[in-house]
């Protein structure tokens, strides 16, 4: 049998692409769907909170739109985890109008003024 290498490459790419799509769909439909949806909605949630909106309202609207039944502690846990993750990766959310950071995972910590400048 003489199989051309181009044919193998083409069929492998097609199969590989099909596998990638199937795995991506599985992730989107499985347990990770809530995390993916929250990550997608996170910038809007932070924008809402920056405009003095409440976490309860954000949680209720997130539940209504995405069809979840998150409770306040679950929502807060996901919010804090996403903040920490984005802070670690340097991918913080910024205001769409003035480009200032909307929230930092380290908010509430005081800067160290006791360091000596040399």
User: Does residue 111 form part of some domain?
Assistant: no
**Is the domain of 25 the same as that of 60?**
no
pTM for the predicted model, two decimal places: 0.60
Residues 6+ apart with CB under 8 A from 84: 105
The Cα–Cα gap between 78 and 81 comes to 5
- How many Å is the maximal CA-CA distance in the chain? 77
**Is the domain of 24 the same as that of 61?**
no
- 52-64 residue pLDDT tens: 999 999 999 999 9
The Cα–Cα gap between 95 and 103 comes to 10
- 85-105 residue pLDDT tens: 888 887 777 666 676 666 654
pLDDT greater at residue 82 or residue 104: 82
Residues 6+ apart with CB under 8 A from 56: 72
User: Does residue 117 form part of some domain?
Assistant: no
* Structural domain boundaries enclosing 24: 1-30
């Amino acid at each position: 049998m003489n199989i051309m290498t181009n044919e193998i490459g083409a069929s492998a790419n097609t199969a590989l692409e099909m596998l990638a799509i199937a795995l991506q769909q599985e992730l989107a439909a499985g347990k990770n769907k809530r995390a993916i949806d929250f990550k997608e909605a996170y910038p809007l949630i932070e924008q809402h909170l920056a405009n003095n909106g409440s976490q309860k309202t954000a949680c209720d609207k997130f539940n209504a739109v995405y069809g979840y039944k998150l409770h306040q502690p679950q929502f807060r846990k996901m919010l804090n985890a996403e903040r920490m993750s984005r802070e670690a990766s340097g991918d913080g959310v910024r205001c769409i109008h003035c480009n200032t950071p909307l929230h930092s995972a380290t908010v509430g910590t005081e800067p160290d003024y006791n360091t000596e400048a040399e």
